[in-house]
Amino acid sequence: MSETGTSVPGPRAADSTVLVDPAESAWAEYVAAARQLDGVRRSAATAAGEQARSVAAAREELTAVRERLAPQQSRLRELGVPAIALAPTPPEVTEAARSMAGGPTAVLAALRSAGAWADAADDTLAARGLPQLARWPARPRNLLVYGPLALVVPLLQLGLHAVAGAGPVTMLALVVGLPLPAVAFMLGWLAVGRFFRPRPADRVDRTPRFGALVCLIPAVLTAAGLLLAMLSG
């Protein structure tokens, strides 16, 4: 209380009232809303980008599966499978549609599963005629082709020598037989690719060095043996 009878507010009374600037409060709220909106926008953009990538991958997978199924369908028809058996039944279509109801990601997973089934079908079709040989190790498998071809000419030369003896006929057989190992190798190379291809898109290991040795060694040994026989005779 002052001498004049009026009261003077103390420090505590002055600090008890805090004045908030409305502009600063509005700015803070605006910044918070803008940050939240930017986060939502970034999340939406990321989700849209992932969906677009899934759609693009699903389209590529669909094209690849269609390209795989068309020759399989033709080959199955050639083997006598009725056309009605190659078309999906209504329950199968319904089940496939249910499995792909989750969007592009689910469609992509279903298409990849279909690709795996197509791979299995190719393996089954490739096993017809030469069961399981396409899955053998490359060298033993290819020896079944290179070996018989490599022995044809040497056996003919030995047969001529046994019949005609060490004369002009045997010498002519030796001269004619010089390029035939290369012919046997080329025939074997083509046959390995024709008979031992697991799937149409796969590459076959033809083991060319091994095949060349298999075709060359019998011819060289036979020619050397016949020359020694003719010189000693």
Share of the chain above pLDDT 70, in %: 76
Residue 49 resides in a domain: yes
Q: Are residues 44 and 117 in the same domain?
A: yes
Q: Distance (Å, rounded) from C-alpha 55 to C-alpha 15?
A: 63
Report how far residue 181's alpha carbon sits from residue 220's, in angstroms, rounded to the nearest whole number. 9
C-beta of residue 192 within 8 angstroms of C-beta of residue 125 = no
- Residue 42 is predicted with a pLDDT of 78
Are 92 and 166 in the same domain? Answer: no
Name the domain boundary from 126, 153, 170. Answer: 126
Whether residues 105 and 150 share a domain: the answer is no
Which of the residue ranges 47-51, 196-200, 201-205 would you say has the lowest mean pLDDT?
196-200
Assess whether 205 and 138 both reside in one domain: yes
Any domain includes 86: yes
In a domain, 14, yes or no: no
Q: Is 202 helix (H, G, I), strand (E, B) or coil?
A: coil
Same domain membership, residue 137 and residue 100:
no
Please check whether residue 1 lies inside any domain of the structure.
no
For residue 231, pLDDT beyond 90 = no
The residue that leads in pLDDT, 43 or 208, is 208
Measured between alpha carbons, how far is 191 from 148 in angstroms, rounded to an integer?
12
What is the 3-state secondary structure of 69-136?
HHHHHHHHHHCCCCHHHHCCCHHHHHHHHHHCCCCHHHHHHHHHHHHHHHHHHHHHHHCCCCCCHHHC
Residues 157 and 113 in one domain: no
3-state helix, strand and coil shares in percent for the chain, rounded to the nearest 5: 75, 0, 25
* 113 plus 40 within the same structural domain: yes
The total of structural domains in the chain comes to 2
Statement to judge: residues 112 and 65 lie in one domain: yes
pLDDT of 232 reads 78
- Range of lowest pLDDT (44-48, 137-141, 167-171): 44-48
What would the pLDDT profile of 79-136 be if each residue is shown by its tens digit?
677 777 667 777 877 877 777 676 777 777 777 777 777 776 666 665 554 556 666 7
DSSP code of residue 137: -
Which of 99, 126, 153 is where one domain is finished?
A: 126
Q: Considering the domain boundaries, does residue 8 fall inside one?
A: no
One domain for residues 154 and 75: no
- The answer to whether residue 88 sits within a structural domain is yes
Give the range among 1-15, 61-75, 137-151, 176-190 with minimum mean pLDDT: 1-15
Q: Are residues 116 and 141 in the same domain?
A: no
Domain final residue pick, 108, 126, 144: 126
Can you give the pLDDT at residue 125?
62
Question: Contact 184/149 with Cβ under 8 angstroms?
Answer: yes
Q: Are residues 59 and 146 in the same domain?
A: no
Residue 145: which of 133, 132, 158, 131 has the closest Cα? 133
Please state the rounded mean pLDDT for residues 190-197.
81
Residue 212, domain member (yes or no)? yes
Among candidates 200, 217, 202, 204, which has minimal Cα distance to 142? 204
Does any domain span residue 164?
A: yes
Domain that holds residue 110: 27-126
The answer on 197 and 166 residing in a single domain is yes
Which of 8, 108, 95, 129 shows the shortest CA–CA distance to 51? Answer: 108
